[in-house]
């Protein structure tokens, strides 16, 4: 390679380098800005809500919105309701998906293919197809406005993806490990619970995370199944700040931040598991 050529190459690769960082910077700004915007609005003093400033920390920043949120609103109650529903759904979802996924990965049985395909089909249901009948059934049985309905509905909508996801991960764990464990005295059950299940930890964590997130932030099903303000989950409460004639942006933003921050922290902490734990079922390189 001539000298001239290699310097040309250098110029090209350094343009490439700059371009890379430029793209990262633009997308990072795009990704972070709306979140910062929520922070800004939550810190605004009440007289200043309709500000046209773009400063991230607003003039006269105050925590008043947060104080109002926790003292004047049912916010803590909603937080409790959401935690109750979400944690129940997460435990239920992980328990059921980890066992069902295992069966789909390791055994041949009648109805297996139909079972897996019907799981995909449920992902194609428009939400109204289940919500309308569910709503009518609950109204006619007079068990409307209870958490039970919500818990069952959320578990069922989260399950198909979780099962797929767990099955995909089990597929990547060699069966020989279980066979070896059986020689060492494990039976069918304990080979699963003591050997395979612990190895599937990344997928369990991701499945739990997804289930948690989907239930934690779900609004449209809850809006139909819950109407009593004291039984609201967090998303319903947040939306109620917006539906008044004059949107209470300050309260909404403060509430959003309180809801969002734990999820973001959880997500970021678990993000190194995402790449290995997210196998998307059928994927095999």
Partner 1 sequence: MKTRSIPYFYVSPAFLILGLVVILPFLYNLVLSFSNMNLTHFRDWDFVGFKQYGKVFSEQIFYIVLLKTFIWTAVNVVFHVGFGVMLALILNTNIRFKNFWRIILILPWAVPQMITALTWRGMFNYQYGAVNLIIKKIDGFLQGIFGIFSTADVGNIIEPVAWLSGEATAFIACIITNVWLGFPFMMIVALGALQSIPKSLYEATSIDGASKFQQFRHITIPFLKPVMMPAIVLGVIWTFNNLNVMWLVSNGGNPSDKTHILVSFVYKAVFNHYRYGYAAALSLVIFLILLAIGWTMLKKTNAAKGVAE
Q: Which own/partner contact pairs does 146-154 have at CB distance under 8 Å and 24+ positions apart? A: 146/231, 147/81, 147/84, 147/85, 147/231, 149/225, 150/85, 150/221, 150/222, 150/225, 150/226, 150/233, 151/85, 151/88, 151/89, 151/92, 153/221, 153/225, 154/85, 154/89, 154/214, 154/215, 154/218, 154/221
Minimum CB distance to partner 1, residue 119 (Å): 8
For residues 146 and 282, which CB has a smaller minimum distance to partner 1 in the complex?
282
We find the least distance from the C-beta atom of residue 238 to partner 1, in angstroms, to be 7
- The residue (of 160 and 231) whose beta carbon lies closer to partner 1 is 160
Specify the residue, 121 or 201, whose C-beta has the smaller distance to partner 1: 121
Beta carbons of 133 and 70 less than 8 angstroms apart: no
The answer to whether residues 280 and 101 touch, using CB atoms and an 8 Å cutoff, is no
How far is Cα 9 from Cα 3, in angstroms, rounded to an integer? 10
Closest distance between partner 1 and the C-beta of residue 251, in Å?
A: 12
Rg (alpha carbons) of the chain, rounded to whole number:
25
Indicate the residue among 70 and 273 with the shorter CB distance to partner 1: 273
Considering the complex, what minimum distance in angstroms separates the CB of residue 128 from partner 1? 5
CB of 56 to partner 1, least distance (A): 11
Q: What are the residues whose beta carbons fall under 8 Å from the beta carbon of 258, sequence distance 6 or more?
A: 66, 69, 75, 79
Quote the least distance from Cβ 4 to partner 1, whole Å: 19
Cβ contact 239:218 at 8 Å: no
203, 140 Cβ separation under 8 angstroms: no
CB of 105 to partner 1, least distance (A): 9
Q: 61 or 213, CB closer to partner 1?
A: 213
How far apart CA 280 and CA 282 sit, in angstroms, is: 6
Which alpha helices (DSSP H) does 172-225 contain, by range? 175-183, 188-190, 197-199, 201-216, 220-225
Closer residue to partner 1 (CB): 8 or 112: 112
Tell me whether residue 23 or residue 76 sits nearer to partner 1 (CB atom): 23
């Amino acid at each position: 390679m001539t000298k001239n050529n290699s310097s040309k190459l250098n110029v090209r690769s350094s343009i490439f380098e700059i371009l890379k960082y430029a793209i990262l910077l633009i997308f990072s700004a795009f990704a972070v800005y709306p979140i910062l915007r929520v922070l800004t609005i939550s810190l605004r003093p009440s007289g200043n809500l309709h500000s046209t400033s773009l400063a991230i920390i607003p003039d006269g920043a105050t925590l008043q919105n947060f104080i109002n949120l926790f003292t004047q609103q049912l916010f803590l109650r909603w937080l409790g309701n959401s935690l109750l529903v979400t944690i129940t759904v997460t435990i239920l979802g992980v328990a059921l998906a980890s066992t069902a996924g295992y069966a789909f990965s390791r055994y041949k049985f009648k109805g297996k293919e139909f079972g897996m395909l019907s799981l995909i089909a449920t992902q194609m249901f428009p939400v109204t197809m289940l919500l309308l009948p569910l709503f009518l059934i609950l109204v006619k049985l007079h068990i409307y406005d209870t958490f039970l309905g919500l818990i069952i509905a959320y578990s069922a909508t989260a399950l198909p993806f979780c099962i797929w996801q767990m099955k995909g991960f089990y597929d990547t764990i060699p069966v020989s490990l279980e066979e070896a464990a059986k020689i060492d005295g494990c039976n069918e059950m304990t080979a699963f619970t003591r050997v395979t299940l612990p190895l599937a930890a990344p997928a369990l964590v991701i499945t739990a995370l997804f289930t948690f997130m989907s239930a934690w932030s779900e609004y449209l099903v809850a809006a139909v199944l819950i109407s009593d303000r004291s039984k609201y989950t967090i998303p319903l409460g947040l939306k109620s700040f917006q539906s008044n004639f004059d949107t209470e942006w300050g309260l909404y933003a403060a509430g959003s931040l309180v809801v969002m921050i734990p999820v973001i922290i959880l997500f970021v902490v678990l993000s190194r598991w995402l790449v290995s734990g997210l196998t998307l079922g059928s994927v095999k390189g």
